[in-house]
Chain A
Amino acid sequence: MKKLKFSSVMLWVGLAFLYIPMAILVFYSFNASKLVTVWGGFSAKWYGELFKDQQILDAVGTSLTLAFFSATTAVVLGAMAAFVMTRFRHSFAKLTLSNMITAPLVMPEVITGLSLMLLFVAMSDLLGWPKERGMVTVWIAHSTFCAAYVAVVVSARLRELDRSIEEAALDLGAKPLKTFMLITVPMISPSLIAGWFLSFSLSLDDLVIASFVSGPGATTLPMVVFSSVRLGVSPKINALATIIILAVSLIALLSWYLTRRKEKRAKMI
């Protein structure tokens, strides 16, 4: 018999620890009883209730819009920063940029949220803009911290890229911008897409920063969920959780399948 290794046992115990609470969440979303922990028979009525809740539906719309624009801005900013980090010579500007791009990764959310909120208040005092906090301020906040994650993902890809192709294009007389657009961008596109999806999910998920910098008319989904969850467990939230878990798993599995198929094809050639 093969000896069971301690680390492999821990791996499966750890994975069980990660997945059992989610499985329970999904299971109880089909509970007919309002009490979340007592099983009252199978029912999908909470899903019906969920789709009748206008407040939640509005918040989903707000959050998806914000996540889309924040992720797109973050990819542009993050990719530029990553390019500087991996391709530029050392300089004072690069050093300070590298400080500013990695710090948001670990900065406690309450500090980031508070500081941006105070910035927006000071700006509206001095410049008269933004008049009130809302979608735009949350967009700025999310783009800023998501850019840090994009920079990490993209710089990892830029580093392992074969630079001789870029150099060849430059030697043959292509302008730097053209080389970047026609050679570099297509080669790093998987990491740009990964960074976009990561930013999208981070923006969709953020509660603390959004609570600080948001204003009337920009209530995101986590804000609605938080105020409901604060009052205790509710089966409607379980139904919402199930939909989120399902959507994320489907996207993740699909992207994993696509990259694997591509790798296999690359091997066959």
Chain B
Amino acid sequence: MIKNMLYALSKGRTWTLGVPYVWLFLFFAVPFLIVLKISFSSAAIAIPPYEAIYEYADESLQILLNMGNYLLIFEDSLYIDAYIGSLKMAFFSTIACLLIGFPMAYAIARAPKSSQGVLLLLVMLPSWTSFLIRVYAWMGILSNNGLLNNFLLWVGAISEPLQMLNTNFAVYVGIVYTYLPFMILPLYSTLVKLDGSLLEAAADLGSRSLNTFWKITLPLSKGGIIAGSMLVFIPVVGEFVIPELLGGPDSLMIGKVLWQEFFNNRDWPVAASLAMIMLALLIVPITLFHRYQSREMEKGL
């Protein structure tokens, strides 16, 4: 048995699989179990600020699961509203990214081969600069004495500044602005593989371009649409920076609430429960994304 194990360890294969496996298991999988555990404990004024959920004394193991955090979340409309607000925000900004991103990706995929690289570079370049800086840029544009208001006043479209910063509108603009490249990239990689002769055949047989789009282009780019949408939807549900900087008191999002519970109230158990519920809500989209991604990764095996 031990001899077998030593033999297995001496092989490069085991190491190639083992090293990333152990690392990810320890630093990605185990942490979720700890979050789950702490979500069932109660807050305490201590270091760390929560109580142990099990105790071993007098030869008996006592496990105390405190459901209070979950009950609190389901009873307090603040948390429910924050979840609904996040899901709504994520849904509509995904649709917006798709509506803007699809034609852009299509145009790049149909551009001459020599210029596709430059166009993709132009789309991706902003996302390699700082995320924070790109959100910050909109603070200067949307504020009451900001550029957009000044421009609209100058044109005469409005007579007094519009409140745009610290509203849901600003959050939408910020999300679409920062997440658009993540929608375009997977859309491009499926659209570029689309066989042009299919579209020609459809046109030759008398199909109108809109009909061709619905019947051929859209179904064949399903994989890219799913991947792009999930790359936008899932992170946006937990978004913290954008609602914090661009949103106002009415832009309630769960990432912001979780952050406040953790950093301001130091209530780690409630923060952990909020994270567990968020994860439960996202399990379906994450599985969808995972299926697409692992199919992409293992293609040709």
Question: Which chain A residues (107-134) contact chain B, with CB distance < 8 Å?
Answer: 107-111, 114-116, 118-119, 121-122, 125
B133 touches A93 (CB 8 A): no
Contact A84-B130, Cβ < 8 Å, known A10-B103, A111-B275 = no
A159 lies within 8 A of B31 (CB): no
Question: Does A269 touch B at the CB level, under 8 Å?
Answer: no
Q: Is B88 among interface residues, defined by CB-CB distance under 8 A?
A: no
B29 CB-CB contact with A under 8 Å? yes
CB distance from B142 to the nearest CB of A (A): 10
Is B245's beta carbon under 8 Å from chain A? yes
Question: For residues 229 through 269 of chain B, which have their beta carbon under 8 Å from a beta carbon of chain A?
Answer: 230-231, 234-235, 237-241, 244-245, 255, 258-259, 262-263, 268
- Please encode chain A, from 17 to 28, with 1 for each CB lying within 8 Å of some chain B CB and 0 for all others: 111011011001
- Chain B residues with CB under 8 Å of A256's CB are 117-118, 121
User: Given A114-B272, A114-B275, A159-B300 in contact, is the A24-B255 Cβ separation under 8 Å?
Assistant: no
The verdict on A28 contacting B21 (CB below 8 Å), with A7-B103, A18-B126 known, is no
Q: Is A152 touching B12 in the complex (CB atoms < 8 A)?
A: no
**Given A18-B123, A22-B126: A84 touches B20 (CB 8 Å cut-off):** yes
B123 to chain A, nearest CB (A): 7
Q: Is A136 an interface residue (CB 8 A)?
A: no
Residue B30 interfacial (CB < 8 Å):
yes
CB distance from B180 to the nearest CB of A (A): 7
**Per-residue CB proximity of B120-142 to A under 8 Å, as 1/0?**
01110110111111101111110
| Residues of B contacting A241 in the complex (Cβ-Cβ under 8 angstroms) | 129-130, 133, 136-137
Q: A14-B100, A24-B147, A84-B16 are in contact. Are A110 and B240 (CB under 8 A)?
A: yes
| A165 at interface, CB cutoff 8 A | no
Report B264-301 CB contacts with A as 1/0, cut-off 8 Å. Answer: 00001001100100110010011001100110111111
Q: Which of A11, A110, A155 contacts B103 (CB 8 A)?
A: A11
Is A168 part of the binding interface, using a Cβ–Cβ cutoff of 8 Å? Answer: no
- On chain B, the number of residues with a Cβ less than 8 Å from chain A's Cβ atoms is 92
**Which A residues from 1 to 59 make CB contacts under 8 A with B?**
5-8, 10-11, 14-15, 17-19, 21-22, 24-25, 28, 35-38
Q: Contacts A21-B134, A110-B258: A97 and B24 contacting too (C-beta < 8 A)?
A: yes
* Size of the chain A interface, CB-CB below 8 angstroms: 95
List, in ascending order, chain A residues with CB within 8 A of B230's CB: 106
A166: interface (CB < 8 Å): no
Say yes or no: B34 contacts A86, CB within 8 Å.
Answer: no
Asked if A108 contacts B278 (CB within 8 A), the reply is yes
Are B290 and A102 neighbours in the complex by a CB distance under 8 Å?
yes
Residues of B within 8 A of A11 (CB): 103-104, 107-108, 119
Q: Which residues of the partner chain A approach B214 to less than 8 Å between Cβ atoms? A: none
A-B residue pairs in contact (CB < 8 Å), sample of 18 = A6-B103, A21-B177, A24-B147, A83-B16, A84-B16, A84-B17, A88-B17, A102-B294, A104-B28, A106-B231, A108-B282, A114-B272, A119-B30, A156-B296, A205-B132, A212-B262, A225-B130, A232-B139
